[in-house]
Chains A and B, each alone.
Chain A
Amino acid sequence: METEVEEGLLSVSGILAQYVQMREEEFKKQIKENVDGLYKKKNEAVKAGNSELEKSYYNQWIEARKVNIDKVMTDDISRLSGIMSNFLESPGVYDINHELVFRLKIGSSETKEYFMKILKVKFFHDLNSKFKTYSRFSVEKGFRSYRSNVLVGSFMFFILFFYVYFTVRKKRESIFIRRIPGLDAIDDAVGRATEMGKPIIYDSGIGAFINPQTIASMLILKSVAKKVAEFKAEIIYPAYDPIVLQVAEEMIASGFLDAGYPEDHKKDNCFFMVQDQFAFAAGLAGLIARKKPATALHFGSYAAESLLISEAGFAAGAIQVAGTVEASQLPFFITACDYTLIGEELYAAAAYLSRDAQILSNLKLSDYGKILFGILFLLGTILLTINSEWTIIADILDTY
């Protein structure tokens, strides 16, 4: 029966879709008229010298040009399917709640009726939502042409990436990376830890593993772990996220392996602390206060807990190097830490430490991207300042 109902729904939504598609030309005309009308109104406001009105019409004109046929048609079909589904709908509360449990416990004669009602309502609701999704996507299907600029742009970026990747791989040694003092300090800091016989504490903030800052932090962790192994020091890694912990353990182990001392790696030094922002900050601050590490390294994504952690390190007298892309946390790190990597320096750090071809090409690509987009932004700003109708660059860059 399920497939039968599904086919029925599909055919009904297909008919709806056909009806809406028939009106495509009408919609197109409507959009064009709307845009032209607003443009005219704007020009009239310019003639009248009413700058306030001109501004509002200008904004409306910009917004109206973003309206695309797909979205108008989707809106129309959801209006139609809304009317259709009103016939199907019979609302009611049918969660598994105390009332249901109570009635089931008593087992009265009404229970069966009540239960059937719940099932019925649930069935119709599910049908309804399915129907709406079907009808929406029987109109909106195929290529979204209004996003072709992103497609072209991303392909250009891919090509640029591979070009950079292969050129960098050929002349890896001669590529210049600006000196990052914070990273040079890591060597000394690790050495200092060995001399003092104290551990190094490394944390990667409160990002989940899908956060690129956390991934960058893991790459740095590998290089640091290698140095730590070479210097025969000890590294402690408290984790915020259990999945990041698994990766970090692997990173440290492989760092120790690269250095040739896999047996020095203590597994208990990487542990899950707590997945809670401030409990993590308190725990980490406590750990720093107790262990009094020679060096504390903070790389990753941070929020308000940054100062709590870095002040604890300052009070414990550790050399601290921090790095994050979160702009609001940078001031705190800069005041409390000895060295701070600002913004994308965090991504550059891994390249700087390992001089690995891939990561180097990453850095180069970011540079090219900055130049390219910088020029585009500048051009767009100049054009729009000269004449507010020259929106060509804004149109190229616009995504919706």
Chain B
Amino acid sequence: MKKELPILMGLIVGILWYSEFFIAGIFYENMKLFFANGFRIAGVVGVMVGIYSVARQNYAKIKYNNERYYSILRVTMILLMIFLGTKRGMSPGTPFSSMFMNVYVPFQATVFSLLSFYIASAAYRSFKAKSVESAVLLIASIFVMLGKIPLGEAMWSKIPVISEWIMDAPSSAGRRAIIFGGYLGTITMMIRIFFGLERSHLSE
């Protein structure tokens, strides 16, 4: 029963949404609103699961682990932000917003900026003309990179055209094949879940 009920519910909901594609009617409109509310509730429950997990993990760390100072900092910051948000609101100009814009935003931006450093070092390490194919790849990439910076056009006006062609034709063709394979895999996976053949997500 523990396994059959979710599978049965999955099948019914699957049939409902599948038939929605082919049949129009007010019933389906109400169904959509019903599911939207359901998702909202599930989203809130998901947040609760997250809070529980964070609390459990940090509690264990503070109690036993030598990383406890980080955990204490983490919990303090979470509580501080909750406090600031509930006390004075979150609109621009409040302490919460100020903390967000001046602490959180630079932190996040820093992590993303690391990407450029990593790309540089990865390019240096592995971008080598080891074979004919990789030589072609290297030349193509140089054209694309030059096409993306204003200097490229200043050097030769045809560079953006070539770069655009590389992105539009060969690169997109390969990408399409990967996308297509991915979607076929997705469809078959969905059929399996639809018919209840896939049960591993129910821990069977």
Contact = CB atoms under 8 A, between A and B. Distances in A.
Partners in one complex: yes
Interface in B107-126: 107-108, 111-112, 114-115, 118-119, 121-123, 125-126
B9 interface: no
A216 B189 contact: yes
A215 interface: yes
Interface string A166-210: 000000000000000000000000000000000000000000010
Contact of A335 (B122, B187, B188, B189): B122
B46 A242 contact: yes
Contacts of A140: 24
B175 interface: yes
Contacts of B197: 165, 358
Interface in A326-348: 327, 330, 332, 335-336, 342-344, 346-347
Grouping DSSP codes into helix (H, G, I), strand (E, B) and loop, the B interface class, with mixed when no group exceeds half, is: helix
A144 B22 contact: yes
B149 interface: no
A104 interface: no
B204 to A, nearest CB: 8
B190 interface: yes
Interface string B146-190: 000000000000000000000000000011011111101111111
A320 B182 CA distance: 22
Contacts, number: 154
B200 A251 contact: yes
Interface in A226-284: 239, 241-243, 245-247, 250-251, 253-254, 268, 271-272, 275-276, 278-279, 281-282
Interface stretch (A30-38, A106-114, A150-158): A150-158
Contacts of B49: 242-243, 245-246, 272
Contacts of A282: 111
B191 A327 contact: no
Contacts of B174: 327
B182 A344 contact: yes
B192 interface: yes
A189 B114 CA distance: 28
Given A212-B190, A246-B49, A150 B57 contact: no
A275 B50 contact: yes
Contacts of B102: none
A18 to B, nearest CB: 17
A174 B143 CA distance: 47
A218 interface: yes
Nearest to A324: B182
Interface residues of B, number: 54
Given A245-B49, A308-B118, A358-B197, A366 B184 contact: yes
A45 interface: no
B181 A370 contact: yes
Given A157-B187, A335-B122, A143 B23 contact: yes
B99 to A, nearest CB: 15
Interface in B46-102: 46-47, 49-50, 53-54, 56-57, 60
Contacts of A157: 187, 191
B21 interface: yes
Contacts of A215: 189, 193, 198, 201
B29 interface: yes
Contact of B122 (A276, A336, A342, A370): A336
Contacts of B184: 344, 365-366, 369-370, 373
A342 B182 CA distance: 10
A199 B72 CA distance: 25
B29 A133 contact: yes
B38 interface: no
A199 to B, nearest CB: 15
A311 interface: yes
Given A278-B108, A278-B112, A304-B115, A137 B185 contact: no
A308 B188 contact: no
A92 interface: no
Interface string A131-154: 001100100111110011011001
B2 to A, nearest CB: 13
A318 interface: no
A373 B180 contact: yes
Contacts of A272: 49-50, 53-54, 57
Contacts of A21: none
Contacts of A342: 178
B103 interface: no
B5 interface: no
A383 B122 CA distance: 45
24 contacts: A133-B29, A137-B24, A137-B29, A143-B22, A144-B23, A150-B21, A158-B191, A161-B188, A161-B191, A209-B201, A218-B200, A222-B200, A251-B203, A271-B57, A278-B108, A304-B115, A311-B121, A327-B179, A330-B178, A335-B123, A344-B184, A358-B192, A362-B188, A366-B188
8 cross-chain pairs, A with B, having the tightest CB-CB distances, nearest first: A272-B53, A347-B185, A325-B182, A250-B203, A242-B50, A344-B181, A242-B49, A278-B111
Given A247-B203, A272-B50, A358-B197, 12 more contacts: A137-B29, A141-B26, A142-B24, A143-B23, A144-B23, A147-B21, A161-B191, A271-B56, A311-B118, A344-B181, A344-B184, A362-B188
